[in-house]
Amino acid sequence: MTHGQSSSAEAKATVIDGKAVAAEIIAKVAVETGRLIAAGGVAPGLAVVLVGDDAASQVYVGAKGRKATELGFHSVQHTLPLSTSEAEVLAIVGELNRDPAIHGILVQLPLPRHIDTTKVIEAIDPAKDVDGFHPINVGRLAIGERDRALVSCTPAGCLLLIQRVLGDLAGKNALVIGRSNIVGKPMAQLLLQESCTVTVAHSRSRDLPGLARQADIIVAAVGRPEMVRGDWIKPGAVIIDVGMNRIPAPERGQGKTRLVGDVAYAEAAAVASAITPVPGGVGPMTIAMLMANTLTAACRAAGKPEPTF
């Protein structure tokens, strides 16, 4: 955690340094991986399946593979042509399910249209579903069995950032903006489990500014550039910005762009007590939690105690 950036005279908020927190988690994963191996376990194994040649997906998959290798994981990547059939993808998932050297299976989304995403996700052994997307993992999180579930990486990372700032969350009013299966809904479940009063808002919600002004914690995950304004924020609130929106930045030159979140950063930083920047906030946490989930799955497979993050 570093204090308010000097670049904005207005900013009062603590900048939540996701990069630094993620690095701590990665360091812990490294230590615990060594411990697991020393205790007679095998190295955690992560398999990533990529279908097609989407450029962004290639970047993500590459980053995940490198981080896994860096940590001493067994890392496998299946890169399949766009023409791959659903049956072929299911066959690979089946093989990975049976492979005792693989503890985590991640099928990079989105899949091409001719493949049924739900079918593929449900084919993954829930114990290896390190993305936390299998309905049985979603269900276990919802019914309070997080210790038997694997939880979606981005919201799990957001929760850790919030807890770093606030400690115990019981009784806090939390607003989650966005109701995706990947971020909004599991985020709400995690905050509810921490005894927040949780509100989920979305595109059909009325008076979003009014809802936001009552929140001690706001998690914005809608994909609309700088939608959450400074005057929506209760003084002292903690703001987690999951958005990653590329917008034109003509001030940087013709055709240039820049990344912004779902929160108008400078305005929000003048009111909030703590805020995640974009980039460098939530982003780095996602990959760190993926590594943590893979280690967790490996510990469970080996019948060894799992570290807490």
Instruction: Name the residues that contact a copy of itself, by CB under 8 A.
Output: 118, 134-140, 142-145, 170-171, 173, 179, 181, 185, 188-189, 192, 195, 197-202, 204-206, 211
Instruction: Please give the backbone phi and psi of residue 270, each rounded to the nearest 5 degrees, phi first.
Output: -75, -15
Burial tier of 132 (Cβ tally within 10 Å: 0-12, 13-18, 19+) = buried
Concerning whether 64 is annotated as a catalytic residue, the answer is yes
Q: Give me the long-range contacts of 210-217 (CB less than 8 A, separation at least 24).
A: 211/175, 212/175, 212/177, 214/173, 214/175, 215/173, 215/174, 215/175, 216/166, 216/172, 216/173, 216/174, 217/162, 217/166, 217/169, 217/172, 217/173, 217/174, 217/175, 217/191
Report in angstroms how near the CB of residue 159 gets to a copy of itself at its nearest. Answer: 16
Query: What is the rounded CA–CA span in Å between residue 20 and residue 262?
Result: 21
Report in angstroms how near the CB of residue 205 gets to a copy of itself at its nearest. Answer: 4
Nearer CB in complex with a copy of itself: 146/229:
146
Report in angstroms how near the CB of residue 196 gets to a copy of itself at its nearest. Answer: 8
Catalytic position from the list 108, 128, 189, 262? 108
Query: What is the rounded CA–CA span in Å between residue 61 and residue 84?
Result: 18
Nearer CB in complex with a copy of itself: 44/184:
184
Nearer CB in complex with a copy of itself: 228/260:
228
Strand arrangement, sheet containing 104-107? 74-80, 45-51, 104-107
Element (H, E) at 193: helix 184-193
Nearer CB in complex with a copy of itself: 25/217:
217
Nearer CB in complex with a copy of itself: 133/265:
133
Give the tokens for residue 71. Answer: 């940590």
Instruction: Please give the backbone phi and psi of residue 116, each rounded to the nearest 5 degrees, phi first.
Output: -80, 105
Report in angstroms how near the CB of residue 244 gets to a copy of itself at its nearest. Answer: 22
Report in angstroms how near the CB of residue 69 gets to a copy of itself at its nearest. Answer: 32
Query: What is the rounded CA–CA span in Å between residue 102 and residue 93?
Result: 11
Catalytic position from the list 17, 129, 131, 241? 131
Catalytic residue annotation:
64, 108, 131
